[in-house]
Amino acid sequence: MVYTVLLPRGWFRVQLTHATEEKQPRRGNKTLIAHLKDRCPTLADPNHAFYAPPYLLPQGDMQTIYLYTQHYKPAGCSIEYKREIFEFADGGKAAVDWALPDQEHNPNAPLIVLIPGIAGTSFDYYARSFIKELRKQVPASRVAVLQSRGCNGVKLVTPKAFHGGLTDDLREFMEHIAKRMPQAQLIGIGFSLGANILTKYIGEEGSKCRFIAAASVCNPYDIDVTISNMSQPTFKNRYLYAAALTRSLISVFTSNKDVIAAGGFELDPNAITSARTIDEFNKAFTAKVFGYASAKELNCSGSCVQYIKNIEIPMLFINALDDPMCYRQTIPIAEIKKNPNLVLAVTRHGGHLAYFEGLGLAPWLPSRLSMFVAAMLDWK
């Protein structure tokens, strides 16, 4: 448990991947990576960018499980939200939770749009801890947490809920924001499966993207490979990760089964509720509702890796090599290096969305993301 204390500091250096500086976008006298090194030294400067896990949680599984326990402890990281029920063109609804209300009446305040992970909510610790830190570093900003249909207390009113490659809802919300706050600088941050959705959306939009910058945290990149790995009959998958994620998906179905049944789809409720992996759930439910021939087709078409080459805004990717859900083999290092707008920051440790450090188990990630936001807002 204490082996991390014995390793040299260089072992914990954040490994950066990006295009050569002559190929990168330049504003003023600085390239993208030069600006990040200056404004985000503990993330992008090799002399200062390190992440060492606490000796109490040296391993990715431990970090990930500990993060899960923090979802039930709002004390010390409580965030006040103002809820908006956003209605889509097809009549569907989703919760948008707004934070940092001091800028509520300032239409020009920078807006950070957060996309949580699978069935995630504004209550998740990684979202709350980021907003808490952002309040310190960029107090003149606002945050909107866009949650998926059927999540965080909002019932489905149409049969379709969500999947990992669904960008239509984010696109419609962004079009609404563009009209509502036309002068505001917009930055997107996606976590886990939300990172896949955000990345895919930005790649689809290309030069039309309204975000000025974005960040992706613990992105699975290739959903089919990720789900296949999580479907392996290991102890961790059967009783921890795949089991927990599958249960969260099943709960969306069971809470809205009458609305889903009214959609006229040929579904087997028993097959849905007895699913033990995400792949089984997608085969029995998601693929059929969204019109895909198979779960594999759904997964492959929804993976963001194929859209990375089309991203035209500065975007930061953060991944941990010991992430037990999003596997190191799926990190598209070559694709990211080819696109001059992208920077990949890889740590050896951190787990899935966790990144705790020190004896107090403080979160390492929020301050780095907040520094990135501040840096992008003043890169002119």
- Which residue bears the tokens 């290096």? 337
End-to-end Cα distance, the chain: 45
User: Is 346 in a helix, a strand, or coil?
Assistant: strand
Region of 208 (left: φ > 0; alpha: ψ -120 to 50; beta: rest) is: alpha
The residue annotated as part of the active site, out of 323, 349, 367, 370, is 323
CA distances from 358 to 4, 355, 361, 363 (A): 12, 10, 5, 9
Cβ atoms of residues 121 and 83 within 8 Å: no
**Whole-number Å distance between alpha carbons of 40 and 42:** 6
Verify whether residue 222 is a known catalytic residue.
no
Is 323 a residue of the active site? yes
Q: Catalytic: which of 192, 303, 367, 370?
A: 192
What φ, ψ does residue 359 adopt, rounded to 5°? -65, -30
Cα separation of 81 and 32, whole Å? 33
Q: Catalytic pick from 18, 35, 349, 352?
A: 352
Tokens of 273: 């509720």
**Cβ contacts of 333 within 8 Å, gap of 6 or more:** 17, 344
Q: Are 169 and 148 in contact (CB under 8 A)?
A: yes
Task: State how beta strands 186-191 and 315-320 pair.
Answer: unpaired
Phi and psi, residue 59, nearest 5°: -125, 150
Do the beta carbons of residue 341 and residue 315 sit within 8 Å?
yes
Q: Of 177, 215, 224, nearest to 194 (Cα)? A: 215
Catalogue the active-site residues: 192, 323, 352
